């Protein structure tokens, strides 16, 4: 058995369609390769799919976060509360607009940001809260909404990994005043390159994000720069690929959810051996990554590798402990749950084209881990 964590065959059954896309876009008499009619159709399809008032395609999820923060006029002197555990864009996007990230610790099991930690991090300079959905669990968005309202600050939802998740009947991406999705290859709606969207119910935020993604130009007004913007445009080939793959997304997400349910049911027997699966259920869930918490994580990882099963550590280091972000971290503060998550988290393969036999083999391998004290 050889199961890599990052599968090389994500698009193996779509080669003909991919070549067809390249041919059609490449030979289209319009010769329009960015922000053309395919991008517009993709935005419309995602508006329909999510029910959001506006969807703005841009060059990546990271770029989407920057566009949202800029559209909200977050900048120098402002603070944005972000999780201490997560990926670099959470801190980097805030710093990119000239604001300061303030790191809040996470819940030890869900690894999403703790509301009471967020509340403690709020100050007179706070401009926005930016929680992120993590791996397979959505952040506590009702609490975030309440905190943002009570402290009169903006709410940005980093839903880069959570497309398709639903909490209290509200889809991921629509809890914040604006959210983002990422289409980088490994994400649940990953593609053959880079891309992302801003998703919002606020027409003004949508209008500003649309201008900012193309050098601050209002649509159709070339060389009129109303804002200092960015090059964060969307590619027509990617739009064509994503338009074609959108109808299959629900089935792929459902397959991921089924695999997660199976793993979680099987892993109840290893809890006493120090291996904790994520919380069960489907409410407020997304299935980007299936992450266990293991007391002897590195031993479990080696145990799986011996059986040909790839795994991955997201993330080995808390954000405020990273060299790049440490200068922004409040002195004397600690993030013990983020540190614990970094030491214990281990992600298993959960991509939708795994066969039932492969899923069983992964579960068998985890369940044969002897565990025990460190
Ligand atoms: C992937 C990811 C991003 C960034 O998306 P890119 O498209 O890679 O820039 C942002 N936030 C989270 C939580 C992510 O997982």
Please write the tens of the pLDDT for every residue from 330-339: 888 999 999 9
171 and 204 assigned to the same domain? yes
Classified as helix, coil or strand, 113 is: strand
Task: Judge if the beta carbon of residue 156 lies within 6 A of ligand 1.
Answer: no
Confidence band of 7 (pLDDT split at 50, 70, 90): confident
CATH number of the domain residue 357 falls in? 3.90.1150.10
236 and 113 assigned to the same domain? yes
Q: From the CA of 133, how far away is ligand 1's center (Å)?
A: 10
**Per-residue pLDDT, 108:** 96
Q: Which of 247, 278, 298 is the last residue of a domain?
A: 247
**Per-residue pLDDT, 372:** 63
Q: From the CA of 372, how far away is ligand 1's center (Å)?
A: 35
Confidence band of 153 (pLDDT split at 50, 70, 90): very high
217 and 339 assigned to the same domain? no
Q: How many Å apart are CA 185 and CA 180, to the nearest integer? A: 16
| Of 22-31, 53-62, 75-84, 280-289, the least confident | 280-289
Is residue 372 a part of any domain in this protein? no
Q: From the CA of 325, how far away is ligand 1's center (Å)?
A: 17
Task: Judge if the beta carbon of residue 242 lies within 6 A of ligand 1.
Answer: no
| Of 34-38, 218-222, 314-318, the least confident | 218-222
Q: From the CA of 298, how far away is ligand 1's center (Å)?
A: 25
289 and 160 assigned to the same domain? no
164 and 263 assigned to the same domain? no
Confidence band of 297 (pLDDT split at 50, 70, 90): very high
Confidence band of 86 (pLDDT split at 50, 70, 90): very high
Please say if 2 is a catalytic residue: no
Predicted structure pTM score: 0.97
Q: How many Å apart are CA 339 and CA 331, to the nearest integer? A: 16
Task: Judge if the beta carbon of residue 35 lies within 6 A of ligand 1.
Answer: no
Q: How many Å apart are CA 249 and CA 20, to the nearest integer? A: 20
Is residue 7 a part of any domain in this protein? no
Task: Judge if the beta carbon of residue 61 lies within 6 A of ligand 1.
Answer: yes
Q: What percent of the chain has pLDDT over 70?
A: 99
Task: Judge if the beta carbon of residue 157 lies within 6 A of ligand 1.
Answer: no
Q: Which of 247, 279, 307 is the last residue of a domain?
A: 247
Average pLDDT over residues 53-70: 98
**Per-residue pLDDT, 218:** 92
Q: Which two tokens stand for residue 94?
A: 């805030």
Q: From the CA of 86, how far away is ligand 1's center (Å)?
A: 10
Q: How many Å apart are CA 353 and CA 350, to the nearest integer? A: 9
Q: Is the pLDDT of residue 347 over 80?
A: yes
Mean pLDDT taken over the chain: 96
Q: Which of 191, 225, 247 is the last residue of a domain?
A: 247
**Per-residue pLDDT, 373:** 53
Is residue 156 a part of any domain in this protein? yes
Task: Judge if the beta carbon of residue 134 lies within 6 A of ligand 1.
Answer: no
Angle at 64 between CA 60 and CA 70, to 5 degrees: 145
Q: Which residues contact 48 (CB under 8 A, 6 or more apart)?
A: none
Average pLDDT over residues 321-340: 95
Is residue 6 a part of any domain in this protein? no
Domain that holds residue 294: 248-367
231 and 277 assigned to the same domain? no
Per the structure, the count of domains in the chain is: 2
Q: Are 54 and 68 in contact (CB under 8 A)?
A: no
Q: How many Å apart are CA 312 and CA 7, to the nearest integer? A: 12
Task: Judge if the beta carbon of residue 60 lies within 6 A of ligand 1.
Answer: yes
Average pLDDT over residues 179-206: 96
Q: Is the pLDDT of residue 374 over 70?
A: no
Average pLDDT over residues 224-241: 97
209 and 260 assigned to the same domain? no
218 and 108 assigned to the same domain? yes
Is residue 302 a part of any domain in this protein? yes
257 and 240 assigned to the same domain? no
Average pLDDT over residues 15-24: 96
Average pLDDT over residues 299-324: 97
230 and 308 assigned to the same domain? no
Is residue 5 a part of any domain in this protein? no
Is residue 65 a part of any domain in this protein? yes
Q: Which atom of ligand 1 is nearest to the CA of 65?
A: 10
Angle at 344 between CA 342 and CA 350, to 5 degrees: 95
The single residue of 174, 187, 213, 303 carrying the catalytic annotation is 187
191 and 65 assigned to the same domain? yes
Q: Which atom of ligand 1 is nearest to the CA of 90?
A: 11
Average pLDDT over residues 57-85: 98
Is residue 374 a part of any domain in this protein? no
Residue with CA closest to ligand 1 atom 12:
160
261 and 345 assigned to the same domain? yes
Confidence band of 147 (pLDDT split at 50, 70, 90): very high
Q: From the CA of 177, how far away is ligand 1's center (Å)?
A: 18
Q: How far is CA 104 from CA 61, 80, 129, 150, in A?
A: 21, 10, 10, 18
Average pLDDT over residues 282-302: 94
Prior bond to 315 cis, omega within 30? yes
CATH number of the domain residue 193 falls in? 3.40.640.10
DSSP, residue by residue, 235-294: BHHHHHHHHHHHHHHHHHHHHHHHHHHHHHHHGGGGGGGTEEPPPPSSTTB--S-EEEEE
Q: Which atom of ligand 1 is nearest to the CA of 183?
A: 7
């Amino acid at each position: 058995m050889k199961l890599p964590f990052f599968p090389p065959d994500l698009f193996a059954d779509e080669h003909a369609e991919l070549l067809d896309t390249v041919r059609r876009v490449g030979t289209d008499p319009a010769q329009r390769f960015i922000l053309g009619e395919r991008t517009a159709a993709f935005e419309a399809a995602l508006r329909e799919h999510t029910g959001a008032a506006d969807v703005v395609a841009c060059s990546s999820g990271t770029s989407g976060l920057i566009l949202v923060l800029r559209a909200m006029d977050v900048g120098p002197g402002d603070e944005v509360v972000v999780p201490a555990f997560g990926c670099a864009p959470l801190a980097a996007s805030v710093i990119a607009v000239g604001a300061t990230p303030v790191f809040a610790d996470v819940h030890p099991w869900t690894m999403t940001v703790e509301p009471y930690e967020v509340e403690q991090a709020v100050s007179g300079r706070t401009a926005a809260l930016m929680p992120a959905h993590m791996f397979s669990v959505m952040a506590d968005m009702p609490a975030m909404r309440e905190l943002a309202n009570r402290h009169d600050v903006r709410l940005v939802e980093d839903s880069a990994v959570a497309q398709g998740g639903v909490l209290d009947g509200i889809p991921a991406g629509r809890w914040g005043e604006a959210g983002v999705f990422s289409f980088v290859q490994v994400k649940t709606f990953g593609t053959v390159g880079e891309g992302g969207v801003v998703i919002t119910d606020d027409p003004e935020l949508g209008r500003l994000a649309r201008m900012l993604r193309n050098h601050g130009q209002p649509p159709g007004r070339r060389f009129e720069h109303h804002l200092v913007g960015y090059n964060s445009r969307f590619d027509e080939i990617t739009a064509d690929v994503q338009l074609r793959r959108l109808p299959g997304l629900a089935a792929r997400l459902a397959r991921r959810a089924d695999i997660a349910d199976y793993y979680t049911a099987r892993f109840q027997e290893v809890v006493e051996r120090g291996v904790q699966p994520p919380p069960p259920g489907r409410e407020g869930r997304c299935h980007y990554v299936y992450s266990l918490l293991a007391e002897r994580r590195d031993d479990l990882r080696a145990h799986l590798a011996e059986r040909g099963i790839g795994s991955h550590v997201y993330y080995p280091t808390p954000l405020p402990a990273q060299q790049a972000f440490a200068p922004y971290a409040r002195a004397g503060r600690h993030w013990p749950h983020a540190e614990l998550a970094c030491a214990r988290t281990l992600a298993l393969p959960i991509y939708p084209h795994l066969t039932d036999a492969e899923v069983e083999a992964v579960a068998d391998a985890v369940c044969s881990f002897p565990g025990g004290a460190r």
